[in-house]
Amino acid sequence: MKYNFQDGFTLLELLISLSILSLLSILVINGINTGVVGSHKISKKMESIETLQSLDRLFRKQLGALIPIEHSDDDGSKIYFSGDTNGITFLAPGENGPQRYAILSDKENMIRFSQGVLQKTLNTYQIGPHHFSFFGTLSGDQKARWHQKWKDQTNTPKLVRLTINNAFPITVKPPRHIEAR
């Protein structure tokens, strides 16, 4: 009995195995690429969430510390609080008594928290398009509603809202001024 064994592979077997190996490598490379892209997207989203959480904490802390102090001018007594769609200025406790604070927007969709007359920057956030609005009753109004501007009023607004595109708005209830009796 004579057996005819061949050592090695035929050309057809080699081509089939190389084709299978190349298909598997393409699938593995695409899977790795998809994982890397997904990881970058998740990292960017987590960074955005952390930025918004930090902004939320600082915004609530600053407006929660607001001191509704009256100042007088020719038109009578007003609360030192003013705001429009681009920012807010108010008084809050500082190292040596009440200090002026500002939360202002700039043209690059950045929001800046500053302190003092010289506006020392405390923190900045790149958050995209945003605006401020104020809920309350302006002088002469009958009903409380949302306003784009709050200036020269005898009280602070009931609510202050920072609306950021593609995110939930941050709404804060600042301390209210209570007139002395």
Instruction: Report whether pLDDT(178) > 60.
Output: no
Phi and psi angles of residue 91, each rounded to the nearest 5 degrees, phi first: -105, 140
Task: Flag whether pLDDT at 181 surpasses 50.
Answer: no
pLDDT tens by residue, 132-171: 999 988 877 778 899 999 887 888 899 999 998 878 889 9
Question: Please, which contacts does 110-113 make with residues 24 or more away whose CB atoms are closer than 8 Å?
Answer: 111/55, 111/162, 113/58, 113/62
Which DSSP category does 150 fall into? B
Look at the alpha carbons of 158, 164, 169, 172 in this order and tell me if their dihedral is positive or negative: negative
Band of pLDDT at residue 109, cut at 50, 70 and 90: confident
End-to-end alpha carbon distance in the chain? 122
Do residues 80 and 70 make contact, with C-beta atoms less than 8 angstroms apart? yes
CA distance 114 to 140: 32
Instruction: State pLDDT tens for residues 38-52.
Output: 999 999 989 888 988
What are the start-end ranges of the H helices in 4-154? 11-64
> Angle 65-68-74 (CA atoms, 0-180°, nearest 5)?
150
φ/ψ (deg, to 5) at 67: -110, 115
Using the predicted structure, report yes or no on whether residue 75 has a pLDDT greater than 80. Answer: no
Q: Quick count: other Cβ atoms within 10 Å of Cβ 172?
A: 17
